[in-house]
Amino acid sequence: MTNRPEPIRRRVPRNTLNRERVLGAAVDLLDHAGPDAFTMRALAQRLGVGTMAVYSHFKAKDEIIDAVRERLLAEVELPTVGSGRTPRDELRELCRAVYRLLADHPSVLHLLTVRPVHGDEGTAVVERILGLLLGAGLDRSAAARAQTALMQYTVGAALWTARGRQRSGDQEDPGTRLRTRFAALPAERYPHLVDLAPELAAAQDGLPQYEHGLDALLSGLLAGH
């Protein structure tokens, strides 16, 4: 891709490795090859550098994990304030932005489950959501619980989708695989499951399913306000 021949994999000259470059390669590696392939050795190789060079910029692998998560969570693009006609519209937009980030980067999801959050990642989103909930008339306690419930559902839905996509080494998409699996169950024991196999398969469609649940959750949380 470069203009130079580079007959031999040239070593990166000094001082060109830095935290930013390491994090970029880490995100690439995670999104492209998955968490299992996210290895210090693979990361260094991708950077064209000895394995231990990375340790000059990060104390340990866990520190890279934290930094990657922080970096990606900070990337959530907040819809402009007042973009929705109602607080509820704006809540939907915010939650969908978080879902989209998690769905686009299954690795972040994995990082969330592997290591708890330390820093103030995602605080901007939380702040906005809390403001909208209070603005909708919820009291302090209800707003806090609603915010937590929205994040819990969002993480769960994203995880659900990522898990379905995980085994896409197979030809079939997760929906069809799930449909055939359910349809093959004994109909006497699981009549509804067998009967609703197509509908259950259709509910594995990521964003539309997320929005269905999100709307229900928002309705329940904002009921009476």
Partner DNA sequence: ACCTGAACACCGTTCAAGT
> Measured between alpha carbons, how far is 41 from 177 in angstroms, rounded to an integer?
35
Does 24 contact DNA by CB under 7 A?
A: no
- Interacting residue with a copy of itself among 40, 53, 203, 207 (CB under 8 A): 203
Judged by CB under 7 A, the stretch of 51-59, 88-96, 112-120, 186-194 that binds DNA is 51-59
CA 122, CA 127: separation in Å to the nearest integer?
A: 9
For a copy of itself, the binding residues in 59-98 under the rule CB under 8 A are: none
Could you say whether residue 180 binds a copy of itself (CB under 8 A)? Answer: no
| Contact assessment for residue 201 and residue 180, using Cβ atoms and an 8 Å cutoff | no
First to last CA, the chain: 58
Contacts of 131 (CB under 8 A, 6+ apart): none
Instruction: Kindly determine how many residues on this chain lie close enough to bind DNA according to the rule CB under 7 A.
Output: 23
Closest CA to 57 of 12, 17, 92: 17
Which amino acid makes up residue 48? Answer: G
Q: Which stretch binds DNA (CB under 7 A): 23-31, 36-44, 75-83, 178-186?
A: 36-44
98 in Cβ contact with 76 (< 8 Å): yes
219 lies in the site for a copy of itself, by CB under 8 A: yes
Measured distance CA(70)–CA(119) in Å, rounded: 8
Q: Which residues of the shown chain bind a copy of itself in the complex (CB under 8 A)?
A: 109-110, 112-113, 115-117, 120, 123-124, 126-127, 130-131, 134, 140-141, 143-149, 151-157, 159-160, 163-164, 166-167, 181, 185, 189-193, 195-196, 199-200, 202-204, 209-210, 212-213, 215-221, 223
Q: Which residues of the shown chain bind DNA in the complex (CB under 7 A)?
A: 11-12, 14-17, 38-42, 44, 49-53, 55-57, 60-62
